[in-house]
């Protein structure tokens, strides 16, 4: 989310091994901790997006370091069987 607001389906696409139930649980926990906020749009069909709060943004560098570490070690842990979406790779922030 350090690269902008994300919808539920976008997050599922970026994390292919997570179930909808687990994603929902984690999003609720992050929202309860004040790390992300849920934005509900008054539209039909309903539209919901998630974005980092100011508190969440204070962890930006830590989140990027954790992502880089995970990308470097995913092959060791999963021996090449883990699916990583190209869009989830860290890119330089604009």
Number of alpha carbons in the 13 Å side-chain half-sphere of residue 22: 7
Q: What is the mean pLDDT of the chain?
A: 82
Q: Residues 47-56: what's their mean pLDDT?
A: 95
pLDDT band for 41, please (50, 70, 90 cuts).
very high
Q: Which pLDDT score is estimated for 78?
A: 58
Q: Are 43 and 55 in contact (CB under 8 A)?
A: no
Cα 29 from Cα 23, distance rounded (Å):
10
Contacts of 16 (CB under 8 A, 6+ apart): 83, 85
Dump strand ranges (E) for the chain: 6-7, 36-41, 47-52
Domains and CATH numbers, the chain: 6-84 (1.10.10.10)
Residue 85, token pair as written in the block: 């979406």
């Amino acid at each position: 989310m350090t690269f902008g607001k994300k919808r539920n389906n976008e997050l599922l696409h970026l994390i292919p091994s997570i179930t909808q139930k687990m994603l929902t649980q984690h999003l609720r926990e992050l929202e309860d901790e004040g790390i992300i906020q849920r934005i509900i749009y008054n539209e039909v069909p309903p539209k919901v997006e998630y974005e980092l709060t100011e508190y969440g943004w204070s962890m930006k560098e830590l989140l990027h370091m954790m992502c880089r570490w995970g990308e470097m070690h995913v092959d060791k842990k999963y021996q090449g069987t883990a699916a990583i979406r190209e869009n989830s790779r860290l890119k330089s922030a604009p």
